Amino acid sequence: MGKAIFYALAVRKRASGKFLRENFQPDREHSPTRSAPWHKFLSQTLASVRWLSYSLAPMASYRVLVSDPISEKGVDALRSSPEISVDVKTGLKPDELLAIIGDYHGLVIRSETKVTPAVFAAAKNLKAIGRAGVGVDNIDRSAATDHGVVVMNTPSGNTISTAEHAFALMLSLARNIGQAHCSMISGRWDRKTLQGVEMFGKRLAIVGMGRIGTEFAKRAQAFGMIVVAYDPFLTAARAQSLKVELAESADEALTGADVVTLHIPLTPETTHLLNASRIALMNPGALIINCARGCLVDEAAAKASMDAGHLGGIALDVYEVEPPPADFGLFNAKKCVFTPHLGASTAEAQENVGIEVAHQVKNFLTTGAIVNAVNMPNLDSRTLETLGPYLDLADSLGKLLSKIAPSQCDGIRVSYLGPISELDTELITRKVLSGYLSGAHHEAQVNLINAPAIAKAHGIQVTESTVALATNCTELIEVSAIKGDEVCTVAGTFFGKSARIVHIAGHYVETSPTGRFLFVENDDRPGIVGTIGTALGSASVNIANMALSRNADRKQAVTVIEVDTEPPAKLLESLRATPGIIRVLSFEL
């Protein structure tokens, strides 16, 4: 919490203006130098923050705008602080919001208000945005970070409501509840044509075992379903404690499934996760439930599978286009259940997220505490100058490790060598972890604040140690993913002020920590590099840099190629089919 409050101080420091610049100048003992531990500095800084908050003005006032409807109890929670005045103005047009946002220090929204770069530019006093709900697609997080605004959401407030809604959709689909209702009110008695299926003993595949997926699993187990789960960061130990079968891949989870429910974020990698080929892996008559994000399911592929008699039915609360158009193809499918994005629409969920977000915004403004932040917090210039280069390299190493290491690792080990080890490395370790976990968290964006908690929730043990690699480098960050006896390591260093990656999965290489890369692992034999180069040239993919390495026994080699453009999928497939090539990965750091 100490570091989180320090981040908030940077925002508060900006707002307090000339007084702080002239009167709050920490002496050498208070400064975050290599000889003064961060925790000591933070505790001293925190004491100063408390003094400042009461000395700047006898009745320091923060103004909070509630621009979307939240529960009255949430508004009352904000007003319970004498330091905060609250205005509730819902239904504002974009130009109306721009005209008044400059007066406010806090903004509380749901999904209706769009917080664009223009809004941040006009919000000269804004310090925090609270989103009553999970999704933050309506907030430009990059602009928020650039302007030093903390964005917080409420990932747990609607967990139960969404899990229950998904479960209700599954039961409604299995027992034809919607069709039976329409049949009855039209005067029919269609008992024979509306025969359903039991859920007892059916194989349920849960893709995404965050809060909602876990709650769904508990209910499915109570119904006697066989639960198999896929989550790239769910460890075997955590799966065992949840009493679910752990799949190594989405394809493995979907193979032979009778029911599939999705509880994952929408990313470029998860778009159309359920496509034609994966739907075909499911058992004939299988059911799909989606209360997460619309584009996770290829709706056209689902319709084609239903028309062909393979997919048994689909229940959707979210859609590729919301609301779906009148000619939405699945409207004509035989066995479907549709709801208009009602996953979090219960009285309890609305009240919970309203109260939760109100307390988060109130506590941030009055004490500096940050909870459920979804963007990188603000750092003061001194800290950023010292740690900034290390943080950037750490982020790249974490992302690189996530691309090449085995999934579902048991632990992450971060080791330091040289001058960097004299710093308080907790921030750097957190940046490694956030890079590694980015894109995999199911309720919020992974960042410096929440990365350790997310890792813990997935059963990933995070440790720090001294460097294990044999190296000539005087300074090194080494990051390892551990799964059983298997260890995959990457490492980076600095040549002067230039950060470089110098080790990838047992191979000493030298390459940039940022860019688009093609990683090829192959048998060490003549002609492989020529094959790769020819293939890239034929596809008009230009090579910016190339690094080659082979292991000591000369049996395997790697080629790390920095390219100007993303290699086409057909090129990657062709390379993977080449004799002697073991693995081909394309990724961006």
Q: Please, how many CA atoms are within 13 Å of residue 521, restricted to the half-sphere of its CB?
A: 10
Q: Please, how many CA atoms are within 13 Å of residue 277, restricted to the half-sphere of its CB?
A: 5
**What gap in Å lies between CA 289 and CA 291, rounded to an integer?**
7
Q: To 5 degrees, how large is the angle CA 517–CA 586–CA 407?
A: 115
β-sheet with 516-523: strand ranges across: 543-550, 556-563, 516-523, 581-588
Structure tokens at 370: 């940050």
Q: Are 47 and 401 in contact (CB under 8 A)?
A: no
DSSP string, 112-169: SS-B-HHHHHH-TT--EEEESSS--TTB-HHHHHHTT-EEE--TTTTHHHHHHHHHHH
Among candidate residues 341, 500, 516, 550, the one labeled active-site is 341
**What gap in Å lies between CA 294 and CA 241, rounded to an integer?**
30
**What gap in Å lies between CA 307 and CA 334, rounded to an integer?**
9
Strand bridging mode 411-417 / 476-483:
antiparallel
Q: To 5 degrees, how large is the angle CA 333–CA 337–CA 339?
A: 125
Neighbours of 127 (CB within 10 A): 24
Q: Are 396 and 165 in contact (CB under 8 A)?
A: no
Active site residue 322: yes
Bridge partners of 139, per DSSP, are 115
Between helix 211-222 and helix 159-174 the angle, nearest 10°, is 40
For residue 514, which of 413, 587, 419, 412 has the smallest C-alpha distance? 587
Three-class DSSP labels, 501-532: EEEECCEEEEECCCCEEEEEEEECCCCHHHHH
**What gap in Å lies between CA 401 and CA 476, rounded to an integer?**
16
Active site residue 293: yes
What is the separation, in whole angstroms, between the first and last Cα of the chain?
Answer: 29
Q: Are 350 and 91 in contact (CB under 8 A)?
A: no
Among candidate residues 293, 359, 413, 503, the one labeled active-site is 293
Q: Are 214 and 263 in contact (CB under 8 A)?
A: no
Active site residues: 293, 322, 341
